[in-house]
Amino acid sequence: MTKQLVLGAFEVVAPTFLANSWRHRLAQPEGYAGLAHWQQLARQLDAGGFDFLFFAEALAYPMTADGDVPEVVVREAVQFPVHDAPLLLSGLAATVDRLGFVVTSSTTAERPYLLARRFSTLDHLTGGRVGWNIVTSDMQDALVRLLGEPAVTAHDVRYARADDFVSLCLALWEEGWDDDAQPMDRQTGVFNDPAKVHRLQHRGPFFSLDGYYPVSPSPQRTPTLFQAGASRAGKDFAATYAECIFTQERSTEALARLVVDLRDRAEARGRPRDAVKVVNGLSVIVGATEAEARQLRAELTAAPSREAMAALFLGWTGVDLTRLDPRATLAEVSTEVGQSLLAQHSDPGTTVGDVLDGLRETMGGFKVTGTAEQAADEIEAIVEATDVDGFLVEFTFGGTESYRDFIADVMPLLRARGLLPQQPRRGTLREMLTGAASPHLPSTHPGRRGSS
């Protein structure tokens, strides 16, 4: 039987993701700060059959360890400005009644109780259509300077903190209330049954809590859990907690190995191999002819300046390529931020100059370019070669133009080949993405095992 893919749309609440693509004639950057812009996009994705809209997050902006912000960051809108995505979700959920929403929040910058409360509220407001993309955060220098963190947190320590953070959130979501704790009985005057609302006590290496959780159980209880780390610690963390894992591989061989690796890791932690869904980044540009599509791709690739791409790399890895000898390599460079991205560019045969020149083509996942038929063929080939579960379709020029041709021309072909359901999925986000019969975490998930 042909695998039916899950599809998300990758966005960020900013004028652009790749610097300077906002200047392209097809881009629509003007409305990024207003709700109407995102409502239009949500309607398009919902009607087109996408399963969810995914918001990446940048808490800050690229800066060096000494606090210097490259001028290009401000001038060319390199993740500057960038707005607060979670605040959009209730407005978007009221706009469409099927599409799910995933938002990124950091375990390094946030506090468990406050984050849990926010996501429970969003899960109520969206009718169970919300997911949390768990990150430990890039831009660590910005967290020190803007949030008052004492120092950059070591990479593996961030994942230890994330483990404690998520464990506490799961306890709040899964153990704070029994399912039938709210009788709302007017005759007896009992709104909440005290015997079924439980005092929670958590003493972890990073967080502690002693008290009650004042948000009633939402449709999913726990939001659908995403994770996007690709380091060893990140993959272990994802295999423990994530239900969907966002990857950014660019070769079928590498993605096939990663899919097997992640499923092996999940199985080693007592979860079924299919408990994790792997969704990889995918940029699609379609034209009436292959030449037209390739021209559009070339325009998109050429849009960001070399300086702007270096600033993005600085924000994601903490490494300022412009301060290194262009003839040197990254083989001996280390970082506590973005280790997996740095490793992708650390081949001893690749110079810093090569990395700078190639960033515009190597950022992101697969890049599919051609006619609709060619795009469908290539996507089908990727699925057959890797057994990936779906894709996050990366926005290209910004706004609804990014997805118009993919929805109109490519998705019908994928649907005809059995790679997409004939009718868009419905239900909670967990039911749509994992195929679960229940909106709640499965019994094999550590969040449920801990509450049983």
pLDDT of 452 higher than 50 = no
Of 70-74, 190-194, 258-262, 290-294, where does mean pLDDT reach its minimum? 70-74
Residues spanned by the domain of 16: 6-290+366-449
Pull the structure tokens for residue 358: 């190639």
Structure confidence by residue, pLDDT tens digits, 99-144: 999 999 999 889 999 999 999 999 999 999 999 999 987 677 777 7
Structural domains counted in the chain: 1
pLDDT of amino acid 159? 93
Structure confidence by residue, pLDDT tens digits, 283-294: 999 999 999 999
pTM of the model: 0.93
Is 438 inside any structural domain? yes
Cα–Cα distance between 163 and 157 in angstroms, integer?
A: 10
Is 323 inside any structural domain? no
For 10, phi then psi, to 5°, come to -95, 120
CATH number for position 99: 3.20.20.30
Burial bucket for residue 226 (CB in 10 Å: 0-12, 13-18, 19+): buried
Is 71 inside any structural domain? yes
Is 420 inside any structural domain? yes
Sign of CA dihedral 86, 88, 90, 96: negative
Feature table: binding site for FMN: 104, 155, 159, 231
pLDDT of amino acid 79? 82
Structure confidence by residue, pLDDT tens digits, 358-394: 777 777 899 999 999 999 999 999 999 999 999 999 9
CA dihedral 136, 138, 139, 144 (to 10 degrees): 20
Contact 276, 40 (CB under 8 A): no
Q: Which of 61-65, 154-158, 412-416 has the highest mean pLDDT?
A: 412-416
Contacts of 14 (CB under 8 A, 6+ apart): 32, 58, 77, 79, 80, 81, 82, 83
Give the N- to C-terminal CA distance of the chain in Å, as an integer. 35
Contact 131, 224 (CB under 8 A): yes
Is 95 inside any structural domain? yes
Is 329 inside any structural domain? no
pLDDT confidence band for 150 (50 / 70 / 90): confident
Feature table: binding site: 104, 155, 159, 231
Average pLDDT score over residue span 21-31: 84
Query: Which of the pair, 359 or 84, is modelled with greater confidence?
Result: 84
Contact 397, 341 (CB under 8 A): no
Is 349 inside any structural domain? no
